[in-house]
Chain A
Amino acid sequence: AQSVTQLDSQVPVFEEAPVELRCNYSSSVSVYLFWYVQYPNQGLQLLLKYLSGSTLVKSINGFEAEFNKSQTSFHLRKPSVHISDTAEYFCAVRGNTGGFKTIFGAGTRLFVKA
């Protein structure tokens, strides 16, 4: 079984500042890791994912996350945030050996201030 802990429920930050949203997971098997983003009044959409290969994965809008197996973490970072990044971000994990169930964290609300 897998579990996910997002360490911050809310992260306020000023525009153009860097941000890190923290995610830790636990699993007895190897995993796939995901970050999803939910903009106001919308469904979740995939931001980035780690399946295998390079441990650093990037999104098209400047976010990146690094899979750290020893620390069982998959923190999300952006060097300079924009007002439009205001949203809720969900970390998720899925075992990669058969199975399908994706476990979602409780979410981190990122609020970017002008």
Chain B
Amino acid sequence: DADVTQTPRNRITKTGKRIMLECSQTKGHDRMYWYRQDPGLGLQLIYYSFDVKDINKGEISDGYSVSRQAQAKFSLSLESAIPNQTALYFCATSTRAADTQYFGPGTRLTVL
């Protein structure tokens, strides 16, 4: 079984809809991250969490919110999706040393 899983793997939705992307990990890591990947831009950090009670905004948090339901679960929500949120979204985890990140397989989101 994969250490970091994401659901759904693909999602097509319409402008204005609320969407939740889920991430679960079995690595026992404290730190979890949500990234967005756009062609030619690399990965941009949306939100990160050091533990269940410590959640922080990344560089592109506008239009997104997160919930850390447990050490193993970290969800990303788009309250009202817009077309420029069409992208590939990755969840990642790391230990406190944070010298390596472990990525999920990604969710491809299309907003029409």
Contact = CB atoms under 8 A, between A and B. Distances in A.
Nearest to A105: B42
A49 B103 contact: no
Interface residues of B, number: 21
Contacts, number: 50
Interface residues on A, range: 20 to 34
A94 B105 contact: no
Contacts of A34: 100
Contact of B103 (A43, A100, A101): A43
A38 to B, nearest CB: 8
Given A42-B105, A43-B103, A51-B99, A106 B45 contact: no
Most chain A CB atoms below 10 A, which of B99, B102, B104: B99
B16 to A, nearest CB: 29
A102 B101 contact: yes
A41 B105 CA distance: 7
Contact of A106 (B40, B101, B105): B40
